[in-house]
Structure 1
Amino acid sequence: MSAAQSSRARAPRLDIDTLLADRGTRIIVCCGAGGVGKTTTAAALGLRAAEQGRHVVVLTIDPARRLAQSLGLSELDNTPRPVDGIDLSTGGSLDAMMLDMKRTFDDVVLSHSTPEKAEQILANPFYQAVSSSFAGTQEYMAMEKLGQLRAEADNDGTWDLIVVDTPPSRSALDFLDAPKRLGSFLDGRFIRLLLAPAKVGGRAYLKVFNAGVHLVSSTLSKVLGGDMLRDVQTFVGALDTMFGGFRERADLTYALLKQDSTAFVVVAAPERDALREASFFVDRLEQDGMPLSGLVINRVQQVSAPGLSASRARAAAEQRAEEGDDLTAGLLQLHATVTETADRQHHLAGRFTAGHASTPVIEVPALAQDVHDVEGLREVGAALAGR
């Protein structure tokens, strides 16, 4: 056994079924780099928990809409929808929804401002752009929606478990950093200068504003046009009364993530970059005192004949080819390639566990086909539970 495999063998095992059965766990956050299977993992966890008797809502922030396909739904939107075709004999239930970033932002505006102010904000062209595509808005609105779902669950008991599929960001840390980045944006010098009309007024305002942002505004006017700059100023002025609310709710949701009722499940593929990202995230969770349950390594290559090494398989393939048995030679070559891939993945996984010896790990084998229905999610759920 290699050193990497030995380190991996010593890693504690992530017990998914115990996690799902713990009624004290109210939120599970699936996080990791993009393209590692967070959406499928979140859906599979939600399905398995529901079929074990939990009342679950799965929130996805994946624009590819793969969760809807996997759950057999024609569409997902900002409203939780029941999932059909699951085993309800244990008394559980499963709802699913996909974050509508703009609608969530609209709801925040409508809930935390007067009707007149809300109408002014919603009609502002700059707001319409910000609410749909501003960097970090998706992650922040995921936080907003999570807070709303938890409040709803606490009020009427609709769900006892919320499973969150975090945004497919370039960096897994974006989800945790979104509230801080939003606060920095709202407290930034340029924003404060744009707020000067409301805070200073008259000639004093003109003096402050012209001295402070003349260069910036003239540059933006050339690039964006004067109308856009005025839209920005109008938007910021209208939103001023809500800035404190944004920060307060972000802080509350961030505190919610640190409670014992929350469990983070980091998801990675058995590739160098994905595991490096997972390592950063695990370190960050530990640094911030957040509850980490463990690591899921997705799509791990399995070897059907582990006793036959890649080198021996290639040697045998060459011999078979010389004898004219091309079919057997091809199969042996395929086995050698698969074995080399599995060895490389095991080595990378071993490097992670060597650096995070106390982090529980579960490996999910690579499936022969994509998951596109409830039955496929059951298979993934069983693999997550080590069945």
Structure 2
Amino acid sequence: MARGTLRGQSERFPSSPKRASRAKGRPVAASDSRSSSPGGLGKLLDARRVLLVVGCGGVGKTTTTAALGLAAARRGKRVLCLTIDPARRLSQSLGIEEMKTEAQTIDPALFAQAGVTITGSMTVMMLDTKSTFDSLVTQLAPSVEQRDRILNNVLYKYISTSLAGTQEYMAMEKLYATKSDPSYDLILLDTPPTPNALDFLDAPERLVGAIDSAATRWLVQAVQSSGKFSLNVLAKGAAAIVRGIGKVSGSGFLEQMAAFIAEINSVFGGWKKRADAVSTALRGPDVAYVLVTTPDPLAVREVMFFADRLREQDMRRDAFVVNRVHPTYGRVPDVAEVEAALSQSAIPLGPDAPARLRRAAEDESRMGKLDALHLVGLEAALEDEASGGSLLAHVPAFPYDIHDLERLSRIAEVLAP
């Protein structure tokens, strides 16, 4: 579905007060019965092997991943959380100084100190794109010598860290590699922070396509059996194109590129097979997708666009998590009532405090009503899309930052009571 269609659908979201009140409260399914998700997202944690957490930047995706991991650990699961670019706050909330590229199991004593009871375990790891790429080359290279030539190639060092699509593909590769690790019952991936949150879906195909393009095949042909680089072995048209590239980049660059492509070509068959396996694994029955958003209309439209992309790729939309949902109030107290409450509490806030507090309550209630309308729209869109009972969980807008295990556990309780 085109983005314009989705935008139009978002603008037609209904605003029935009855539907709005029904949308509040515990996480609900996108079906009329609302009875299929009494445990929130708990059934996904229990039934699936892998959860991919998807969303655009700034919607709380990384925190949601950690909270889901904690919820699973509370249910007795041995959990591994993989993340690309963790916020400093997340490390603090997990009780560790910093995320590392090797697996770190959170000390059970930290959970006990925070008053959080877990019967499983929680391990976290920051993904290292280059080390994952290096490991893949090591697996696929036909000889130690060829492996070393690839790993030490200047262009490989660039491609393995900076080429567009590499980070997304290596995240999927790491997920695929750890999926069969018997040390874990559940693996959660905080998908890479990219302008398009679903770049990882076709990253394997894009990276294989870059290596298997016509230009790279010409460069391989230009490396003669003697190992020397020559354009004379190419057809006239191909040679002209490659010469044009050489005028811009320099012949030295072409020689380095040709040497690299010739080396990487030896592992290409295994690489393509691996990429196909990764792509297939993303569509497996033991994989679930959790889409994260906020009540902001733009974020809602984006998440519906992501949902449509998943459907086009034959992938399920298992759950939607809406973060930072403001509460709604039946009636905002008047100034006299606020004054009476402050007087009983003996809170000295100054003569204008009652009026300011009332305005704050009005603002909060107004935001809650707007959030409710946007959430009703999301729920209606899910029904219109025939999502097959996708779960919809609402996480409240807490009046504090999530920077410790105790507060993270409160989100976990909302997601999987």
| TM-score bucket of the superposed structures, by smaller chain | 0.7 to 0.9
Q: Which residue of 1 aligns with 2:147?
A: 118
**Residue 140 of structure 1 pairs with residue 169 of structure 2:** yes
Which residue of 349, 362, 385 maps to 1:336?
362
Is structure 2 residue 200 aligned with structure 1 residue 172?
no
Match in the other structure for 2:314: 289
1:103 corresponds in structure 2 to 131
Asked if 1:9 is matched to 2:22, the reply is: yes
Does residue 54 (structure 1) correspond to residue 77 (structure 2)? The answer is yes
User: Is the CA contact (8 Å cut-off) linking 2:111 and 2:118 kept in structure 1?
Assistant: no
Q: Distance in 2 between matches of 1:62 and 1:39?
A: 9
Conserved? CA contact 2:41–2:319, under 8 Å: no
- Match for residue 179 of structure 2? 150
Does the C-alpha gap of structure 1 residues 271 and 217 become closer, same or farther in structure 2, counting only changes over 3 Å?
A: farther
After superposition, what is the alpha-carbon deviation per residue over 1:58-105, rounded to whole angstroms, capped at 9, x for unaligned?
Answer: 111125455433312223333211111236976411111010001111
Give the Cα separation in 2 of the matches to 1:164 and 1:197: 41
1:258 aligns to 2:262 (yes or no): no
Query: Partners in 1 of 2:264 and 2:173 — Cα distance?
Result: 17
Classify 1:181/1:198 alpha carbon distance in 2 versus 1 (closer, same or farther; 3 Å). same
SS of structure 1 residue aligned to 2:202: helix
For 2:79 and 2:175, the matched residues in 1 are separated by: 13
> 1:69 pairs with 76, 84, 92, which one?
92
Moved more, 258-267 or 141-150: 258-267
Residue 56 of structure 2, aligned match among 8, 30, 33: 33
Larger % of helix: which?
1
Structure 2 letter corresponding to 1:261: D
Q: Which residue in the other structure is 1:359 paired with?
A: 390
User: CA 1:193–1:306 in 2, change beyond 3 Å: closer, same or farther?
Assistant: farther
Give, as a single letter, the amino acid of the residue that structure 1 aligns with 2:403: H
Give secondary structure in 2 for the equivalent of 1:86: helix
Question: Is the CA contact 1:32–1:278 (under 8 Å) kept in the aligned structure 2?
Answer: yes
Report the AA paired with residue 393 of structure 2. I
Structure 2 vs 1, CA of residues 368 and 228 (structure 1 numbering), >3 Å: closer, same or farther? Answer: farther
Distance 1:77 1:108 in 2: 20
The reply to whether residue 373 of structure 1 matches residue 397 of structure 2 is: no
Contact 1:31 1:266 in 2 (8 A): yes
Cα deviation for residue 249 of structure 1 reads 1.5
User: Aligned-pair distance for 1:221?
Assistant: 4.5
Q: Any conservation in 1 of the 2:86–2:99 contact (CA below 8 Å)? A: no
2:305 aligns with one of 280, 289, 294: 280
Distance 1:221 1:3, change over 3 A: farther
Identity between Structure 1 and Structure 2 (%): 36
Residues in 2 aligned to 1:90 and 1:329: alpha-carbon distance in whole angstroms:
45
Q: Does 1:44 align with 2:67?
A: yes
- What do the CA deviations read for 1:155-179 (whole angstroms, capped 9, x no partner)? xx21111111100111122121212
Q: Is the 8 A contact 2:52 2:288 kept in 1?
A: yes
Partners of 1:116 and 1:7 lie apart in 2 by 65
Q: 1:306 to 1:182 in 2, by over 3 A?
A: farther
* Range with greater deviation from structure 2 (349-358 or 84-93): 84-93
The 8 Å contact of residues 296 and 371 in structure 2, kept in 1 or not, is answered as yes
Greater alpha carbon shift after TM alignment, 241-250 vs 164-173:
241-250
Count of paired positions: 367
Amino acid in structure 2 at the alignment position of 1:130: I
Question: Are the counterparts in 2 of residues 4 and 348 from structure 1 also a CA contact under 8 Å?
Answer: no
Alignment partner of 1:56: what SS? strand
Match of 2:332 in 1: 308
Where do 5+ consecutive residues of structure 2 fail to align?
A: 1-13, 339-349, 384-388
TM-score (norm 1): 0.85
Opposite residue 132 of structure 1, the aligned amino acid is T
- Tell me whether 1:268 sits opposite 2:299 in the alignment: no
Q: Which amino acid aligns with 1:382?
A: E
Of residues 292-301 and 201-210 in structure 1, the stretch that sits farther from structure 2 once superposed is: 201-210
